[in-house]
Amino acid sequence: MPDTVTVLEVVSAAHGGHTWLGLMAGSHSRAAALGEFDDRIARDGFARTCSLCPGACAVWRDFEARLGPSDNLFLRAREFFGKPILVITSIKTCREHLEHPSIRHKMVLLIRDGRAVLASHLRKYPATPAALRVRQWQATCRALEARLSALPARDRLVLHYESLVEDPDAHLRRVCGLLGVDYEPEMKAYWCRAHHFLGGNQGAQYFVKTHQRGGVADHGRPVDLEFYARQDPRRFRDKRWRTELCADDLRTFEALGGRRNRRYGYPRSQGVGSPVRVWARRARLALAHARDRIAARL
């Protein structure tokens, strides 16, 4: 197996953009975007955890067939994919494989306005109390900051989601600098690359699926499909939280997470969405989720 491999771990709080950045970083010609290494791999295997292939992914099935019981996962992946840089977006399992002396572990923490994160959670889980989601966001941020600080300064980087959206070239250059490779503008058009991504956010992967297959399979539809269907991936913007959070949501957020959000550089909450429209939309989402669950059981 190859002597060395760089594993770039791209992390954020849930719904914070790490799938999107992981796909862009993994679109470098010297990299492969692998995705999330979590409990689903142990439960379902690599082939059935691939989010971009319906059914069992032939690429990951081949990888599983070649993976020996004593192999280091990332050294084997480096050999299998033929790339010296592997990009992952979660590592809840298999973390001991990063301790191999031939692996260079680097990490990017992507920070996003916590209000946008909260809105995304409530969009997907409309019946969940906002306070619970803010507390989860706080706990995740603390844990990720602790993990980041454990790495040497030369191996870590902090980016802001909003800055990456506005100037992807500048911030992807910083990611490439961390990796020691030249920046490639083609990284921005991640949907043009063939990926076999484990897990991850369906919204971020929507553009890959539509480009590769001309449509989205039922197994991988984002909850807010209509929003993504209207977007141009080259000019993607998501500021929905400004109209989707009502005054109660923002008061809850400011009370529980406002201090951290301001430490990250975001201002206090001001304008709020219409409460009638906000709750009507959540009711429609809850009904749609219920219908999907019933259909899945039939």
Summarize pLDDT for 227-279 with one digit per residue, the tens: 888 888 888 899 999 999 988 999 999 999 999 999 999 999 875 555 545 55
The predicted pLDDT at position 28 comes to: 98
pLDDT given at position 43: 79
Query: Cβ–Cβ contacts within 10 Å for residue 7, how many?
Result: 22
Give me the pLDDT at residue 275, please: 53
- The CATH architecture of the domain made up of 5-297 is 3-Layer(aba) Sandwich (3.40)
In sequence order, what DSSP letters do the residues of 121-167 get, joined into one string? HHHHSTTS-HHHHHHHHHHHHHHHHHHHHTS-GGGEEEEEHHHHHH-
Q: How far is CA 224 from CA 11, 41, 289, in A?
A: 23, 26, 11
Q: Which residues pair with 85 in a beta bridge?
A: 6, 31
pLDDT at position 218: 47
User: What's the predicted TM-score (pTM) here?
Assistant: 0.87
Low-confidence ranges of the chain (pLDDT < 70): 1-2, 213-223, 271-298
Say what the pLDDT of residue 229 is.
83
Q: What is the DSSP string of 7-58?
A: EEEEE-STTSSHHHHHHHHTTSTTEEEEEEESHHHHHH-STTTBSSSSSS-H
The single-letter code of the amino acid at 219 is H
For residue 213, what are its two tokens?
């297959």
Q: Is 172 exposed, middle or buried (0-12, 13-18, 19+ CB in 10 A)?
A: buried
Give the per-residue pLDDT at 226. 79
* Closest C-alpha among 197, 250, 194, 204 to residue 227: 204
Q: What is the pLDDT of residue 276?
A: 45
